[in-house]
Amino acid sequence: MASQLDRETVLKVARLGRLKLADHEVDDYLNKLGQILTYVEQLNEVDTEDVEPMAHAVELQNVFREDVVRPSLPRDLALSNAPKTDGQFFLVPQIIDAGG
Amino acid sequence: MSIPGLTVSELLGKLATGELKSVELTQACLDQISAHDASVRAFLSVDAEASLAQARSVDQRRAAGETLGLLAGVPVAIKDVICQKGTVTTCASRMLEKFVAPYDAHVIERLRAADAVLLGKTNMDEFAMGSSTENSAYQITRNPWDLERTPGGSSGGSAAAVSALMAPLSLGSDTGGSIRQPAGLCGVVGMKPTYGRVSRFGLIAYASSLDQIGPFARDVQGAALLLEAIAGHDGRDSTSVPHDVPNYSQTVDHPLEGLKIGYAKEHFAPGLDPEVERSVKDALNIYKKLGATIQEISLPHQKYAVAVYYLVAPSEASSNLARYDGVHYGHRAAQFDSMVDMYSASRGEGFGSEVKRRIMLGTYALSAGYYDAYYLKALKVRRLIRNDFDEAFGEVDIIATPVNPTPAFKIGELVNDPLAMYLSDIYTISANLAGIPGISVPAGFSSGGLPLGLQLLGAPFAEGKLLRAARMFERETDWHTRIPPNMVVTK
């Protein structure tokens, strides 16, 4: 494990996580994430050869239900918390260049 | 004893005979909130009219001779991470400042079916990430026993509301100790059920393989009643388990014969406050006098629990919180120059610093080149932690541990040191990783007058046994009857 975090890595992770960070936040994360990563490296001491990873506490498999039509959230309610709508759809900024 | 000081069973008794009306009880809670919440700051929102209307309706239906639900007329405060249709559900985040829940969580449906009164939404650490309720975007909740100290977190508002007699019951959520830890610091009962016992439908997700909703009350019977009301299978949460729900409230008073209690030497390591250690040992002595067998067990991987948690939970969080994109709901930045920039700017502005820190940590742990070293390694050690418990529960019924390494710490004391804050959950986190149930019960006071808690852990779905064991201890002590001296009931 590499716990040495550099500024470039922090910025890359912020891009992957879609987080715009202020400069002081980048400094803070550089320092504190590094400390946390150093702490979690103690897991390297543990022999996990042949240990099956545990993704979940209740290891249910393939929970099926009947495929029946049921009422879903009405459109007006589904749109009611959206920052921008036209009453029918969620509106986002233009992503295709109109001139292209 | 004034109305807000009564236990849930006492309240239910008086409501049933007509000696007390739900409207009076609800008003008494609202009065207590008016008197003390300006200093405690447990609630983010209270809709007095709506609560009184529910109470009035229960009173009328009772007067008409209708059969009522398990919690008829009893007010319950709700952590603001749980969707209650038509109310603002913020998760204590700017991101969801204007989010009005479009549907009820399963537990809210259950509470309505039980004829409970929904009293208001309580403060928490933003998106349930924190151990002190200082990460709320709106306000800092204070410990009713000492207003300069934290109530713990993340369900600090729900714990403080019950401790300060503002609500007889409340709901919290527990991902790494967020019910049990504040219950311990506020001197109330708090329980995290087995993973899958309670539906997570309508619970705003933090770390889905760990999150579980559970009750706060001032006594074990109250916790049993509230758990009974909310537990059970729900097809909308495919991890909720289709097991029958026992009548916990009917059996909680039956002492367990031949009870075997284990304590792990790993739980009494350096870092544990001597008064906390003393209170757990005193509790073991009480069980011994009650005829229980006390035996030392070993949980060799316990010391890795915090490290495993701070890889697993942020990894799940980084994925869960990807839904906040400024499109479907939540904050959208006013200024941006592209679609991707809109996501990043909205998230950068809407999330607080601890939430961003955990998204960063999780994104890093899951990113190419690090997945095996961090996330997968953590999942393997998680298995070993679960195996330790499985082995221990082959020998004992219950494991007794401290809840917190120290009594309530001061507001501001740990907030700039994330790692030290994370370590305050050292005794509670492993139950979430293993998926087992745990309960925190009042077990004494520090020399400074702060509550100390005892944690009892049980095997999966042993909630009934856990509640009965907790009640055996409660019956021998009077810690749970103490109320914070400053939280005087004025009316």
Is B364 a member of any domain? no
- Inspect the interface and report whether the beta carbons of B336 and A73 lie closer than 8 Å: no
pLDDT score for A1: 44
Is A70 a member of any domain? no
Is A98 a member of any domain? no
Averaged pLDDT of chain B? 96
Task: Please tell me the distance in Å from A2's CA to the nearest CA on chain B.
Answer: 9
Q: pLDDT at residue A2 above 50?
A: no
pLDDT tens digit string along B10-63? 999 999 999 999 999 999 999 999 999 999 999 999 999 999 999 999 999 999
Is A80 a member of any domain? no
Residues of chain A with C-beta less than 8 angstroms from the C-beta of B380: 46, 48, 51-54
Share of chain B above pLDDT 70, in %: 100
The dihedral built from the CA positions of residue B20, B24, B30 and B32, taken in this order, carries a sign that is negative
d(CA B124, CA B92): 6
Is B114 a member of any domain? yes
- Inspect the interface and report whether the beta carbons of B380 and A53 lie closer than 8 Å: yes
d(CA B384, CA B392): 12
Is A37 a member of any domain? yes
pLDDT score for A95: 83
Is A33 a member of any domain? yes
d(CA B134, CA B451): 19
Domain span at A40: 2-44
pLDDT bracket for residue A6 (50, 70, 90)? very high
- Catalytically annotated residue among B131, B136, B155, B178: B178
- Inspect the interface and report whether the beta carbons of B196 and A58 lie closer than 8 Å: yes
Is B90 a member of any domain? yes
pLDDT tens digit string along A47-91? 999 999 998 888 777 888 889 999 999 999 999 999 999 999 999
Is B269 a member of any domain? no
B170 an active-site residue?
no
Q: pLDDT at residue B422 above 90?
A: no
d(CA B150, CA B412): 9
For position A7, which CATH number holds?
1.10.20
Query: Could you tell me how far CA A86 lies from the centroid of its own chain?
Result: 28
Is B248 a member of any domain? yes
Residues of chain B with C-beta less than 8 angstroms from the C-beta of A60: 196, 238-239, 241
User: Worst-scoring range by mean pLDDT, B1-10, B55-64, B86-95, B401-410?
Assistant: B1-10
Is A23 a member of any domain? yes
What is the count of structural domains for chain A?
A: 1
B163 an active-site residue?
no
d(CA B92, CA B96): 8
For position B71, which CATH number holds?
3.90.1300.10
Is B20 a member of any domain? yes
What is the count of structural domains for chain B?
A: 1
- Strand spans (E) along B8-116: 43-45, 75-79
- Residue-by-residue DSSP string for B185-217: HHTSEEEEPPTTSS--TTBPPSSTTT-EEEEEE
Is B323 a member of any domain? no
Q: Is B423 helix (H, G, I), strand (E, B) or coil?
A: helix
Q: Is B117 helix (H, G, I), strand (E, B) or coil?
A: strand
Higher pLDDT, B404 or B417: B404
Is B372 a member of any domain? no
pLDDT tens digit string along B346-392? 999 999 999 999 999 999 999 988 899 999 999 999 999 999 999 99
User: Worst-scoring range by mean pLDDT, A58-62, A89-93, B321-325, B470-474?
Assistant: A58-62
Give yes or no for B1 touching A (CB within 8 A): no
Q: pLDDT at residue B340 above 80?
A: yes
Domain span at B54: 3-255+466-487
